[in-house]
């Protein structure tokens, strides 16, 4: 029995050095979210340490993490991504390919245990972020340069905070000095947004929304072959024609 206990202790210490935590470390349960940073949406989903898996844009339960972060802490990430069958022809048929990597977990505090976010980049680069904030919040702890090729999509989320300073004190938690340090990369201090990119997007917002609306309307009417009927439907969608007026009336 004594030898079994000694063997267990040795094994526990060895495994603790390799995995997220040692045998007696206090754990916390967090949810899992996955983010695709490929130019085109190619990542199907990912899992962390085989404990949970999540598709892009969703959230699932659960991953166990130590309450206290330690330098060098890692996790095994497995994911599936659509890649061209012919590596030399990016336009060739894409098929799902399974990949895995050991990724370092970015520093976090016990108060930040909410979700573990898996960011998958081209070239099999993976970044793991643990935070209470949603991806898109100015407090999200990720360098701006690594938000990815579609980081402008998150502009609308950031705009909410810029337009409504009281959101800074709303759940999931009041913003901390550490959170505000991340927000500074968006030019946000004292509830104000001074970032040139944000201000430029804000100036162009009406045109951006109008263009997006036009694209949606074009997509809705493009399948109607009758040009007159197509034009009438377009006028209804644009608010230029009474939807209760019969379509056979001019």
List pLDDT tens digits, range 44-77: 888 899 887 776 766 788 899 999 999 999 999 9
How far apart, in whole angstroms, are the C-alpha atoms of residue 40 and residue 122? Answer: 11
Four-residue CA torsion sign, 31, 102, 44, 218: positive
In this structure, how many other beta carbons lie within 10 angstroms of the beta carbon of residue 36?
A: 22
> 61: Cβ–Cβ under 8 A, 6 or more apart, which residues?
29, 31, 32, 52
Percent of the chain having pLDDT more than 90?
Answer: 16
CA distances from 17 to 168, 174, 246 (A): 38, 34, 74
3-state secondary structure of 230: helix
pLDDT attached to residue 14: 43
**Does residue 20 register a pLDDT over 60?**
no
Reported pTM: 0.64
Task: Kindly report which listed range (41-55, 130-144, 169-183) carries the lowest average pLDDT score.
Answer: 169-183
Query: Which band of pLDDT confidence, cut at 50, 70 and 90, is reported for residue 166?
Result: low
Strands (E), 113-170: 115-121, 125-131
Percent of the chain having pLDDT more than 70?
Answer: 70
Question: Considering the chain, what is the average pLDDT of its residues?
Answer: 75
Whether 137 contacts 51, CB under 8 Å: no
Query: What angle is formed at CA 45 by the lines to CA 42 and CA 48, rounded to 5 degrees?
Result: 135
Overall average pLDDT of the 178-196 stretch: 73
In this structure, how many other beta carbons lie within 10 angstroms of the beta carbon of residue 22?
A: 14
């Amino acid at each position: 029995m004594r030898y079994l206990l000694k063997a267990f202790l040795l094994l526990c210490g060895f495994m603790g050095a390799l995995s997220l935590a040692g045998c007696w470390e206090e754990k916390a349960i967090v949810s899992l979210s996955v983010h695709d940073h490929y130019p085109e949406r190619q990542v199907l989903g990912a899992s962390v340490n085989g404990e949970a898996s999540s598709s892009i844009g969703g959230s699932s339960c659960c991953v166990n993490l130590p309450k206290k972060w330690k330098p060098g802490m890692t996790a095994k990430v497995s994911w599936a991504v659509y890649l061209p069958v012919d590596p030399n022809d990016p336009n060739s048929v894409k098929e799902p390919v399974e990949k895995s990597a050991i990724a370092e977990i970015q520093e976090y505090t016990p108060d930040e245990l909410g979700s573990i976010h898996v960011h998958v980049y081209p070239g099999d680069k993976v970044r793991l972020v643990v935070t209470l904030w949603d991806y898109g919040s100015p407090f999200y702890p990720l360098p701006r340069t690594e938000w990815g090729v579609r980081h402008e999509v998150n502009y609308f989320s950031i705009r909410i905070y810029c337009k409504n300073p009281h959101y800074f004190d709303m759940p999931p938690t009041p913003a901390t000095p550490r959170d505000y340090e991340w927000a500074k990369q968006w030019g946000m201090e004292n509830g104000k947004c001074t970032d040139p990119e944000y201000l430029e997007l804000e100036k162009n917002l009406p045109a951006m929304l109008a263009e997006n609306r036009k694209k949606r309307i074009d997509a809705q009417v493009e399948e109607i072959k009758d040009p007159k009927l197509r034009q009438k439907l377009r006028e209804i969608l644009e608010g230029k024609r009474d939807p209760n007026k019969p379509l056979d009336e001019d």
